[in-house]
Amino acid sequence: MLAFFLVAFATVLVLGYFQVQLAWWSVAAAALAAYLSSAADLGWFTGMILWTAVIALAVVLNFVPLRRKWITDRVLAIYRRILPDMSQTEKDAIDAGTVWWDADLFSGRPDWDKLLATPEPKLSAEEQAFVDGPCEELCAMLNDWEITHERFDLPPKVWQFIKEQGFLGMIIPKRYGGLGFSALAHSAVVMKLSTRSNAAAVSVMVPNSLGPAELLLAFGTDEQKDHTLPRLARGQEIPCFALTSPEAGSDAASIPDSGVVCKGEWQGKPVLGMRVTWDKRYITLGPVATLLGLAFRLYDPEHLLGDEEDLGITCALVPTDTPGVNIGRRHLPLNAAFQNGPNSGKDVFMPLEWIIGGKDYAGKGWMMLMHCLAAGRSISLPTSSAGGAKALARYTGAYARVRSQFRTPIGKLEGVEEALGRIAANCYMMDATRVMTAGAVDAGEKPAVISAIAKYHMTERARKVVDDAMDIHGGKGICLGPNNWLGRGYQVTPVAITVEGANILTRSLIIFGQGAIRCHPYVLREMHAAKDMQGEEAANEFDDAFTSHVGHVIGNGTRAFVHGLSGSRLAPVPAGAAPETARYYQRLGHLSSAFAFLADMSMVAMGGALKRKEKISARLGDVLSMMYLVSATLKRYEDQGRQQADLPLVHWSVRDALWHAQQAIDAIYANFPVKPLRWLLRWVVFPIGTPFRPPKDRHNAGCAALVLEPGEARDRLTAGMYVPKDQRDATGVLEAAFGATVACEPIEKKLREAVKAGTLAPRPGVDTAGLARDKGIISAEDYAAWQRKEALRKDVIKVDDFPQDYGRAESLEKLAREDQPPAKAAA
């Protein structure tokens, strides 16, 4: 019997692992029954019962009409009873966008070869020329202190340059006068600007994200496109998009802003139009916009358009010079200087033609917004976060080398090294995610779940990076002024956390909530069969989806168990993977099966209530997200030609992500609401204990060393950021001081050795290097280099101070002079 049970167990593991068809399970069951009958003395009665059970089960499971009658039709009836009804807005949100690599991760068997075969996203020559030309030029024009402290806005000449060079029309095709850039190029521009000025990056990012241009491209009438897109592309219109209201923030579909279809007069002629009342807040570019994208709920009480009264959310484009439109007032979002503020209107009459897509699209606004959300969300905030991380990795590494305490560059003190290493590794993973996600958009995806993952995790990592950078800079990061290159970034970090779906909501509700339905290979099919189909069609579709679903659960459970037992050594490694990262693919293989199994068990155990179990849903989302981030990191390592110098970054970031995923899984079963399942889940997923270990200190040290040293690896990590060459610029000086500090280290060594040997005796108030030169310990050139380095170092460590009014009076005078028209200025 022991042999039988061992053979039976092994058979289940093999069949489950390879997720074979039902027929093979039946054959295996028959073979096991035959083995048992011949090996054990069962007696004719027990033997008959055994064979009857095996044959009956095989017939019911393999013969579809019987399977339906006895099993799946009954499950379908239960499913229909318990499946909560979905509102149209929920349906629109679920149906929006596409799924991509997230579906592979959800399947429990990601196809690594497919991912590695995806071409590396690259800029075209024209796009690269724009990044190196106008974008570089724009960065050089930007003075963040002037923008955030003196003007609270971009200077007029910068606005002019942005408009003239087409920065506001990057996503608009060339035939409408736009730049027609790829998502990657759009991302490269926003990233570069983010390394220089948040206000400039946001002002460019918003018109290229979810808003008038994108909505027009997807849904506009030809007339609307021909008229408005060229004006947007040339910067003749400044757009904004107003959805958020005081009463409707995260729950944006509940906006109280409303319009009523009515007859009225427009440009002297009687027309059918809408009288719209709204009160919006937080609208970026709203205070200076000329074209207001407006979302409101449209009603048709007089049935002028049709039978329905409540038509639903509608999007219109409203010129802000329309009588009754109030714009201009500003919020002050944590001292960020991009234009942001409320706007409102009361009973403003507008023709129906202002609805994006025309009157046929009245009431379709939510669907339109959901449809367009993913592309922008994939780029804007992930990109600006990656840009921020690049700037911080470069500047913090440089500062940690230039700044010494206890006669040691602070970056070489282990505590600082730990934080610095985290910054560098996070930066690598973030940029990898940025590029892979932009590549997906360029490949035609509108990746709904991935865009939420990228938005959440990149902004959260940016928050960690800036916290670490602040800690490393100490007081230098805290005292604001033109010489502080990170304080403003630290201040505005929560803005990215809050916008485009606030982060708590995105993690708790969206990533797994939408993923479970969209990325799962069978759930959406089952739901459609249950809710949208009837009769035979529904029963057959449900039968097929449900049976496959059961096989999927058994397969993933078995694979997770086998990988858990074998330390994931049986999991596949793609042919194109480097040997040094091969184990990570196997680890991900284990994680993917474990996650898919846990996801299904959670859905079975909690059903519709999982939506309210946000903590469980959030942790499942964390596991999915970590797998996505690790995939992007491994792909980057391959795409960049397996740079050995980058290995510490890969090791640290991948191990850290796997470790976090494991912690999330631990927390899932520790809090699983169905107690008996807790033990089962733990036993199946990690049968011999938790396999992933946190990153090692040596990986962390390797990451820190990479940004403490000038060279290719540091340049590769921070590629695409703006590096000022002008030494009047605080970060320009930092870059120069960094180079000089490293170059002078041999001189420093000579000085230290001379002091130790007693040939040089430092005296308070006396220039030690000068003494060393006089004694011939260092050469005259050494001394000159040392003097230069010291001057630069002093410049770098200096902190701003101000008169009592923080220099407001003086700067207002300066700005008044600068902004005067040329004739007046000459006079």
Ligand X SMILES: Cc1cc2nc3c(=O)[nH]c(=O)nc-3n(C[C@H](O)[C@H](O)[C@H](O)COP(=O)(O)OP(=O)(O)OC[C@H]3O[C@@H](n4cnc5c(N)ncnc54)[C@H](O)[C@@H]3O)c2cc1C
| Residues recognised as catalytic | 500
Spatial separation of the C-alpha atoms in residues 170 and 167, rounded to whole Å: 6
Q: Report the SS3 class of residue 229.
A: helix
Spatial separation of the C-alpha atoms in residues 260 and 262, rounded to whole Å: 6
- Report residue 349 as tokens: 């009459």
Return contacts of 297-303, CB within 8 angstroms, 24+ apart.
Answer: 297/255, 297/256, 297/257, 297/258, 297/259, 298/258, 298/259, 298/260, 298/261, 298/274, 298/362, 298/363, 299/258, 299/259, 299/260, 299/261, 300/260, 300/261, 301/260, 301/261, 302/261, 302/262
* DSSP β-bridge partners for residue 350: 274
* DSSP β-bridge partners for residue 294: 242, 316
Spatial separation of the C-alpha atoms in residues 348 and 408, rounded to whole Å: 66
Residue 120 dihedral angles phi and psi, to the nearest 5°: -65, 130
- Report residue 571 as tokens: 């999991």
Spatial separation of the C-alpha atoms in residues 691 and 594, rounded to whole Å: 12
Q: Give me the least distance between CB of 460 and ligand X, in Å please.
A: 12
Half-sphere exposure of 637 (CA within 13 A, CB side): 27
Q: Give me the least distance between CB of 165 and ligand X, in Å please.
A: 23
- Report residue 229 as tokens: 């897109």
Residue whose Cβ sits closest to ligand X: 249
Number of residues that this document lists for the chain: 827
Task: Considering the complex, state which of residue 191 and residue 242 has its C-beta at the smaller distance from ligand X.
Answer: 242
Task: Considering the complex, state which of residue 189 and residue 283 has its C-beta at the smaller distance from ligand X.
Answer: 283
Task: Considering the complex, state which of residue 380 and residue 556 has its C-beta at the smaller distance from ligand X.
Answer: 380
Q: Summarize as ranges the residues that interact with ligand X (CB under 6 A).
A: 240-244, 249-250, 282-284, 333, 340, 495, 498-499, 502, 504-505, 508-509, 614
* DSSP β-bridge partners for residue 299: 260, 310
Residue 278 dihedral angles phi and psi, to the nearest 5°: -150, 160
Provide the residue type at 821 as one letter: P
Task: Considering the complex, state which of residue 491 and residue 498 has its C-beta at the smaller distance from ligand X.
Answer: 498
Q: Give me the least distance between CB of 373 and ligand X, in Å please.
A: 11
Q: Give me the least distance between CB of 487 and ligand X, in Å please.
A: 18
DSSP state, residue 499: S
DSSP state, residue 519: T
Spatial separation of the C-alpha atoms in residues 624 and 110, rounded to whole Å: 12
- From residue 667, alpha-carbon distances to 196, 558, 598, 812 in Å are 40, 21, 12, 55
Q: Report the SS3 class of residue 231.
A: helix
Task: Report yes or no: 147 and 153 within 8 Å, Cβ to Cβ.
Answer: yes
Q: Give me the least distance between CB of 211 and ligand X, in Å please.
A: 8
Q: Give me the least distance between CB of 210 and ligand X, in Å please.
A: 9
- Report residue 451 as tokens: 């865009």
Q: Give me the least distance between CB of 186 and ligand X, in Å please.
A: 17
- Radius of gyration from C-alpha coordinates of the chain: 31
Q: Report the SS3 class of residue 315.
A: strand
Q: Give me the least distance between CB of 465 and ligand X, in Å please.
A: 20
- Report residue 535 as tokens: 């009769």
Task: Considering the complex, state which of residue 508 and residue 558 has its C-beta at the smaller distance from ligand X.
Answer: 508
Task: Considering the complex, state which of residue 498 and residue 811 has its C-beta at the smaller distance from ligand X.
Answer: 498
Task: Report yes or no: 704 and 414 within 8 Å, Cβ to Cβ.
Answer: no
DSSP 642-655: --GGGHHHHHHHHH
Residue 168, C-beta contacts closer than 8 angstroms, at least 6 positions apart: 162, 204, 207, 208, 232, 233, 235, 238, 239
Q: Give me the least distance between CB of 308 and ligand X, in Å please.
A: 25
Q: Give me the least distance between CB of 78 and ligand X, in Å please.
A: 27
Task: Considering the complex, state which of residue 203 and residue 633 has its C-beta at the smaller distance from ligand X.
Answer: 203
Q: Give me the least distance between CB of 501 and ligand X, in Å please.
A: 6
Task: Considering the complex, state which of residue 218 and residue 565 has its C-beta at the smaller distance from ligand X.
Answer: 218
Residue 384, C-beta contacts closer than 8 angstroms, at least 6 positions apart: 190, 191, 194, 198, 201, 202, 205, 462, 496
Task: Report yes or no: 216 and 225 within 8 Å, Cβ to Cβ.
Answer: yes
Q: Give me the least distance between CB of 227 and ligand X, in Å please.
A: 23
Q: What is the dihedral of CA 134, 135, 140, 141, to 10 degrees?
A: 70
Q: Give me the least distance between CB of 184 and ligand X, in Å please.
A: 24
Task: Considering the complex, state which of residue 505 and residue 797 has its C-beta at the smaller distance from ligand X.
Answer: 505
Spatial separation of the C-alpha atoms in residues 489 and 515, rounded to whole Å: 32
Task: Considering the complex, state which of residue 343 and residue 592 has its C-beta at the smaller distance from ligand X.
Answer: 343
Task: Report yes or no: 529 and 535 within 8 Å, Cβ to Cβ.
Answer: no
Residue 446, C-beta contacts closer than 8 angstroms, at least 6 positions apart: 96, 97, 98, 371, 374, 375
